Chains A and B, each alone.
Chain A
């Protein structure tokens, strides 16, 4: 597997408050229409970007990591089958189900829903939401986005490590 996308290699994901507000707005609208329980936006490295809706359990971080890993494994399966990528995944449970969908190049939308709605409705509105979210990411890509951390970051980091370890 050769990763050709240079952006995947070099870019760092930086989110500002304004970005999260826009993403949250889209997710809230999606949740209202689809009646899903929860929408998680996760980057493909497994880091959560934002979450809207109900809480999904004790460890959102673990769920995010597993979703990213699951999607990565599916991509490899797709490659072996001659597909570039499977963009949608669905896991059905007795009560709760989850749909995963690729948003743009580097982000995943995970939708957790139950008997209050159905797969068709979620899939229909998720497709629309993903397009709108992709547009948000696209507009973000045209902005200069400096990741300016405090100049005391290193010193604070050393102190934090000393305290933790």
Chain B
């Protein structure tokens, strides 16, 4: 569920990587963590088993930057893919704003793909959502496997809602960012459609959803977002169009999110327009290649026949980035996964000297602050007075 915080000028959305077990969901998130600019990514936290299988979820916040004056953050989760973890999968889906379905391209993985897709739809239905309306994309992962199914067959079996699809080999990082970019565009467009342009989204916090919506322009006493100008109902752009225009070859259209993507080589594939054979050898999009090429281990490195490429080594990354990644510097294939225990940084705790001084905390009554203490004193005095009167009456009676 999108959270819009006008006080902090922040928008938070929840993105979930979904798919069958071992399809590459966690690997996707690890690649994003390794290669996203350090200023934009948060810590990668994993709740996993000893065998590095996801137990509850992996989590990483990603800062997309300031969009129309609002800091926009994606909270990115993966789910455990194994069938018997459905309860936890369902919990992670709570409040989801966008889904990346990571499918295994191999022939033997198709049955699990279909089962996971059905499971996703069922779990979304539990929250009153559906793939038909929820922003989502499908990633056909492991395209480097020798038994990978043709794209047309994968499209026909898995893409029933006309979602954007992407080829990927998450182990090498190929296709990971185009997939995320595609979903990000869809989610942001969805947010814009719901509550952009000065119009009202679904009103309300809780019960207000049932109230008849009144336009912002006619809402006299309605609270105004902190970022809105005082005079108008429709907030002025935080960046002047005249300044933005030169930086964009094409003016923004109603499909604003999609147009610039195509300029940068973003070519989402659909079953209707994508020749099956044309994309087999070209996994990387040009825009993403610019980001990923310097970090790829060795594009032309020979691979053993039938073997999947190893995960990118930390040493292949630019020095500042690799140095800032803690566990990733180990160079192990799964080193990018920062365990939650490693995330703790006691050195950054901020506790004042005064705070450490007191010994054991006294009883609650002694810790009361001014108003509560006065109340207690008044109560004690009243009780004493009543007791004295009562005693006097009793003694007189005797």
Contacts and interface: CB of A to CB of B under 8 A. Distances in A.
A155 B252 CA distance: 5
A69 B56 contact: yes
Interface string B39-51: 0101101010000
Interface string B179-209: 0110011001101101111111111111111
B198 A151 contact: yes
A115 interface: yes
Contacts of A132: none
A81 interface: no
B348 interface: yes
B189 A10 contact: no
Interface stretch (B87-95, B143-151, B164-172): B87-95
Interface in A63-88: 65-66, 69, 72-73, 76
Given A12-B195, A157-B185, A146 B203 contact: yes
B377 interface: no
A13 B1 CA distance: 8
Interface in A1-54: 1-3, 6-21, 32-33, 35, 37, 43-50, 54
Contacts of A3: 126-128
Interface string B88-131: 10111011000000000000000000000000000000111100
B4 interface: yes
A146 B216 contact: yes
B353 interface: no
Interface residues of B, number: 123
A32 B235 CA distance: 38
Given A58-B348, A117-B367, A155-B244, A11 B204 contact: yes
A136 to B, nearest CB: 10
A46 B204 contact: no
B127 to A, nearest CB: 6
Given A72-B91, A144-B204, A157-B256, A57 B349 contact: yes
A9 B340 CA distance: 30
Contact of A156 (B61, B67, B211, B254): B67
Contact of A162 (B73, B178, B264, B349): B264
Contacts of B349: 54-55, 57
Interface string B353-371: 0010010110010011100
A165 B192 contact: no
Given A32-B369, A154-B192, A157-B189, A148 B216 contact: yes
Most B CB atoms within 10 A — which of A117, A118, A164? Answer: A164
A157 B248 CA distance: 12
A104 B205 CA distance: 12
B206 A45 contact: no
B7 A20 contact: yes
B64 interface: yes
B86 to A, nearest CB: 10
Interface stretch (B217-225, B380-388, B390-398): B217-225
B257 A161 contact: yes
Interface in A127-165: 137-138, 140-165
A41 B165 CA distance: 37
Contact of A151 (B59, B61, B234, B351): B234
A69 B223 contact: no
B4 A150 contact: no
Contacts of A118: 360-361, 364
A156 B68 contact: yes
B192 A11 contact: no
A147 B68 contact: no
B84 to A, nearest CB: 14
B67 A59 contact: no
Interface of B: 1-8, 12, 14, 36-37, 40, 42-43, 45, 47, 56-57, 59, 61, 64-70, 72-73, 75, 77, 87-88, 90-92, 94-95, 126-129, 177-178, 180-181, 184-185, 188-189, 191-192, 194-209, 211, 213-216, 219, 222-226, 228, 233-239, 241, 244, 247-248, 252, 254-261, 263-264, 287-288, 291, 340, 343-345, 348-351, 355, 358, 360-361, 364, 367-369, 372
23 contacts: A1-B126, A11-B1, A43-B1, A45-B75, A57-B349, A59-B61, A61-B61, A66-B47, A69-B47, A118-B361, A142-B207, A144-B214, A149-B70, A149-B191, A153-B191, A153-B197, A154-B192, A156-B67, A156-B239, A159-B244, A161-B184, A162-B261, A162-B264
Given A3-B128, A151-B198, 9 more contacts: A13-B4, A14-B4, A15-B3, A59-B42, A69-B91, A117-B361, A143-B205, A150-B196, A152-B238
Return the 6 tightest CB-CB contacts between A and B, nearest first. A155-B252, A45-B95, A154-B256, A9-B128, A20-B7, A147-B195
